[in-house]
Amino acid sequence: MSHLVPHDLPVFAVVGRINMGKSAVLATLLEVDDDKIIRVSATPGETTRCQVLPVAFHDKELLRFIDTPGFSRPLDAMRAIQDLHGEGTPGLPAVQQFVADHRQGGEFEDEARLLEPVIQGAGILYVIDPGKPLRDAFVAEMEILRWTGRPRMALLNEKEEAGEHLTEWKDRLGSYFNLVRTFNAHKARFEERKRLIRSLLEIDEGHRVLLERALRCIEEEWVQRRKESADVVLEMLRAALMVRAEGRLEEEDVHLEHRRERVAADLAGKYAAEVQRVERRGYEELLQIYRHHLVEIEDRAADTSGTELEEEERWKKWGLSRGQLTVAGAVAGAAGGAVVDVGTGGLTHGWGTLTGGVVGALATFWKGADLPEFGLAGGLKMSSGSGRTLVLGPPKNENFPWILLDSVLHRYAAILARAHGRRDEEVLAAGRGESLVRNLPRSRRNLLAKWFGSCARGAPNRGMEPEVFEALVETLQEVEGRQAA
Ligand SMILES: Nc1nc2c(ncn2[C@@H]2O[C@H](COP(=O)(O)OP(=O)(O)OP(=O)(O)O)[C@@H](O)[C@H]2O)c(=O)[nH]1
Ligand SMILES: [Mg+2]
């Protein structure tokens, strides 16, 4: 056990009553959402041994936390330590004796184990849930911790509204601990995590250099993650705007409504699936950057209506063999003009209906809140060739890229708001609340619009990308700041 607390390292033991959220606090602080690494559970007594959780940067351990089993019999343990000491106030030697007597097992095994790192020299983070009434057993825990003489901080992990007990807790903690801080294991974000690490400086002066270095590394890493995220977003937007779906239609089928509808649904389905694939890949990367494994991305409604297998197969038989008619969905640099531009006048009506079908099918895909005030009513700009291969590109609506960006920003915010100490699964929906892109400064909007246009036309302006990258970094930072406020 002597290896728990090396003297040249700041080490903090997280202690407290069983089921107070000690492991959850550490999981959030250290961004571990995996129960195999830090077990967080509603079943009391889940942590039964001390667990060393190193904080390392560039392969060097700068700081260490120790998760511990909870106090299970604090009142009896307090009396036992008092008995060991005799008259007066016990100190560290009595606690050391108590640990030595019980570390092999027996009635105070939990207490002996949790006190082990403390007697070895670890600082104390005492986790309580101020929603619970302050009973004698808690006072016994505080008393034992005070007897160790180790520097100590109390952490209020408010599981539910603390309400009536909060003041009583704060008063009492104030007299037993050097510092009292709030840290909610289910809500704390980056700023709160950083604040907690910074307050360790106040209870462990001796390791200032390493603690400050850890803080610097944490901050640098955060900036780095934001940059990586901006890069992911850039790639995602470019790829999504360049998606093209191809389908085919017999010329004579243009006049058969059910076949038109079939090709519309088929094209829209392919298009939607590909955009979704691009987005999904991007979100998976963002989740990886922020170390989340329990977060899912909500599927866009892939239901493009009427794509029953049987019908689809029938369509494939019909669709495959004559010349080319290209419907290119390009967001033109010049003004859009006609939604459908097919050389043969006679076909216009039919193609118009096809467009309607595609738009309808895509509207289902980009459903509900995802299109706050945009909408695909502008349809798809299509131009014609002479064959029957249909190419469906990005919606003509110039808001399309902004809708994409807006949903990325909302999800980015949700990813950053997610605490790693939670163990429930979460599904991130596309759009939440107000538009975030509308708040961007005009110059940034113009820059992005220009680049979006080039991507939508299928010829992304790579020369602009360093600037676009910076614009996205700033935008992500604003989303974070807005959230913290
Ligand atoms: N709502 C809410 N629940 C929390 C919070 N922190 C912990 N919990 C829940 O409380 C339960 C116990 O959390 P743990 O972190 O396993 O508690 P512990 O103190 O490590 O428990 P033992 O290791 O068994 O002593 C789990 O179901 C957690 O999800 C919180 O901030 N809010
Ligand atoms: Mg635990």
Whether 217 is covered by a domain: the verdict is no
Whether 425 is covered by a domain: the verdict is yes
pLDDT digits (tens, 9 = 90+) for 258-282: 776 777 677 777 887 888 899 999 9
Name the more confident of 20 and 255: 20
What integer is the mean pLDDT of 199-211? 93
Cα separation, 225 vs 416, in Å, equals 11
- Helix (H/G/I), strand (E/B), else coil: 154: strand
Whether 211 is covered by a domain: the verdict is no
Q: Whose CA is closest to 162, among 186, 184, 131?
A: 131
Whether 429 is covered by a domain: the verdict is yes
| CATH number (domain holding residue 177) | 3.40.50.300
Local confidence band at 323 (pLDDT 50, 70, 90 cut-offs): very low
Whether 363 is covered by a domain: the verdict is yes
- Asked if residue 309 has pLDDT above 80, the reply is no
The per-residue pLDDT for 45 is 84
pLDDT digits (tens, 9 = 90+) for 407-429: 899 899 999 999 999 999 998 87
What integer is the mean pLDDT of 153-174? 88
Could you tell me if 366 and 452 lie in one domain? yes
The per-residue pLDDT for 357 is 58
168, 203, 238 — which closes off a domain?
Answer: 203
What integer is the mean pLDDT of 122-150? 95
CB-ligand 1 contact for 23 (6 Å cutoff): yes
- CB-based contacts of 166: which residues, under 8 Å, 6+ apart? 130, 156
Please report the atom of ligand 1 found closest to the CA of residue 46: 24
The per-residue pLDDT for 326 is 25
Write out the two tokens for 457: 């036309």
CB-ligand 1 contact for 424 (6 Å cutoff): no
Helix or strand holding residue 192 (H, E): helix 190-203
pLDDT digits (tens, 9 = 90+) for 427-466: 887 655 677 787 788 888 889 888 988 898 888 999 999 9
Could you tell me if 196 and 278 lie in one domain? no
Cα separation, 375 vs 40, in Å, equals 43
145, 174, 203 — which closes off a domain?
Answer: 203
Could you tell me if 193 and 256 lie in one domain? no
Cα separation, 272 vs 307, in Å, equals 13
The per-residue pLDDT for 388 is 55
pLDDT digits (tens, 9 = 90+) for 95-133: 999 999 999 988 999 999 999 999 999 999 999 999 899
Could you tell me if 324 and 442 lie in one domain? yes
Could you tell me if 335 and 395 lie in one domain? yes
What integer is the mean pLDDT of 26-31? 96
Could you tell me if 246 and 163 lie in one domain? no
Could you tell me if 324 and 450 lie in one domain? yes
pLDDT digits (tens, 9 = 90+) for 334-378: 222 222 322 233 334 444 455 555 655 555 554 433 332 222 323
User: Domain tally for the chain?
Assistant: 2
Whether 470 is covered by a domain: the verdict is yes
Could you tell me if 456 and 315 lie in one domain? yes
Whether 334 is covered by a domain: the verdict is yes
CB-ligand 1 contact for 184 (6 Å cutoff): yes
Local confidence band at 252 (pLDDT 50, 70, 90 cut-offs): low
Is residue 70 within 8 Å of 133, Cβ to Cβ?
A: no
**CB within 5 A of ion ligand 2: which residues?**
22-23, 46-47
pLDDT digits (tens, 9 = 90+) for 164-188: 888 899 999 999 999 999 999 999 9
Could you tell me if 194 and 235 lie in one domain? no
The per-residue pLDDT for 413 is 93
- Counting ligands in written order, the one closest to the CA of 17 is 1
CB-ligand 1 contact for 70 (6 Å cutoff): yes
Q: How close is the Cα of 181 to the center of ligand 1, in Å?
A: 17
Name the more confident of 227 and 318: 227
Could you tell me if 235 and 120 lie in one domain? no
CB-ligand 1 contact for 435 (6 Å cutoff): no
Q: How far is CA 327 from CA 153, 200, 287, 324, in A?
A: 67, 63, 36, 10
- Residue 296, domain extent: 222-484
- CB-based contacts of 427: which residues, under 8 Å, 6+ apart? 295, 296, 297, 298
Whether 212 is covered by a domain: the verdict is no
CB-ligand 1 contact for 444 (6 Å cutoff): no
The per-residue pLDDT for 200 is 95
Could you tell me if 76 and 8 lie in one domain? yes
Q: How many CB atoms lie within 10 A of CB 197?
A: 18
Name the more confident of 450 and 384: 450
The per-residue pLDDT for 3 is 81
Tell me the pTM: 0.84
Could you tell me if 63 and 135 lie in one domain? yes
- Counting ligands in written order, the one closest to the CA of 420 is 1
Average pLDDT over the chain reads: 80
The per-residue pLDDT for 383 is 41
